[in-house]
Structure 1
């Protein structure tokens, strides 16, 4: 039987870090815009962070479901 507790813990850490990165990037975009600068590159990076976070969240959910079997 796989060690689901450690896999869940690691996935939770990935989700937490991903959420932190998304929030920091959103704040960065606000600062860039407040300075009147172009934020397009920062926005593209935010999209990548959000997609990665979604993958982490899906992975966590899948691990949790497998642990319930």
Structure 2
């Protein structure tokens, strides 16, 4: 659990923006993870996108909220 918190602390909003460049919303979690991989995002970003329980997101702000508030 502690390593997840530390990893999330190092993750910044700009990392998500870069990883999700070109994504059309609404988008589901699998699409976001795939886009991050296609954009060569670091593993920490891909893992962070995989963790939230929400299945879909209407906006980039919704993704950020889910990633940064997930505990």
TM range (shorter): under 0.3
Normalising to structure 2: TM-score of the pair? 0.25
The higher-RCO structure (CA 8 Å, 6+ apart) is 1
TM-score under structure 1 length normalisation = 0.25
Task: Name the structure where helix makes up a greater proportion of residues.
Answer: 1
